Amino acid sequence: MDLFLVALLPPEPVRSEVWAMKQELHQRTGSRNAVNLPPHITLIPPLRQPAQFAEAAAVSLRAFGPTQNACLVGLENFAWFQSRTLYVHVAQAQAVRQLHEALYHWCAAQLPVVPTPTRPFVPHVTLATRDLPPAAVPELRAEFAARRYSATAAWSELILYQHDGRRWQVRETVHLAPAGDAAGE
């Protein structure tokens, strides 16, 4: 069984700005999870499927993408999940929530092996997680509580990732329609 996930990636310069923060955290703390993937919002979290899922998912995403508009996403400052995951807060999340809902509705009909979400969807862009040294967390909490970051952009790149046992590999890249151009509008 292989591991797959679907993510929405930010455009430049947001991608480079957030990547620089992920690199900074990796260099300061040794967190490897910070640099395993480029900046993204996870739409379908990691799931185990047979290798042939890759082609079925790619075909499905290629059909889904043009039916959806790019998402206007506003990032603002930072937050934490418990004490182990530092992320960039998505302050403007309506469009990405709608995309998430549409994707799961699509999967229910077109790719039913994708399970229905069991947890609430909280759009976020992870900077570091799980392998953050516990001793570094108090200082990072204080620093990122005072640190400021904001960016707003149309996000249009959907990526299907497959884990090869060592790292995540891009399996398929699909572009959403420019705002206002989705099929059926």
Task: Decide if 183 is inside a domain.
Answer: no
Instruction: Read off φ and ψ for residue 73, nearest 5 degrees.
Output: -120, 130
**What contacts 178, CB < 8 A, 6 or more positions away?**
69, 70, 154, 156
Range of 9's domain? 2-175
Picking from 80, 114, 90, the residue whose alpha carbon sits closest to that of residue 39 is 90
Task: State the CATH number of the domain containing residue 147.
Answer: 3.90.1140.10
**DSSP code for 117:** P
Mind listing the pLDDT tens digit for each residue in 80-99?
Answer: 998 889 999 999 999 999 99
Mean predicted confidence (pLDDT) in 43-61? 96
Helix, strand, coil fractions of the chain, as percent rounded to 5: 35, 35, 30
Task: Decide if 185 is inside a domain.
Answer: no
Strand, helix or coil at 18?
A: helix
Task: Decide if 22 is inside a domain.
Answer: yes
Predicted confidence at residue 83, as pLDDT, reads 82
> What would the two tokens of residue 39 be?
């900046």
Task: Decide if 25 is inside a domain.
Answer: yes
Cα 104 from Cα 109, distance rounded (Å): 9
Number of domains in the chain: 1
184 has pLDDT over 60: no
Strand, helix or coil at 14?
A: helix
Task: Decide if 165 is inside a domain.
Answer: yes
Query: Which amino acid is residue 89, in one-letter code?
Result: H
183 has pLDDT over 60: no
Element holding 157 (H helix, E strand): strand 157-163
Predicted confidence at residue 105, as pLDDT, reads 97
Evaluate the omega torsion of the peptide bond into residue 45 and state whether it is cis, within 30 degrees of 0: no
Task: Decide if 184 is inside a domain.
Answer: no
Which pLDDT band, with edges at 50, 70 and 90, does 130 fall under? confident
Predicted confidence at residue 181, as pLDDT, reads 62
135 has pLDDT over 50: yes
Mind listing the pLDDT tens digit for each residue in 150-180?
Answer: 999 999 999 999 998 889 999 999 999 997 6
Task: Decide if 88 is inside a domain.
Answer: yes
Cα 141 from Cα 82, distance rounded (Å): 11
Task: Decide if 41 is inside a domain.
Answer: yes
**DSSP code for 177:** B
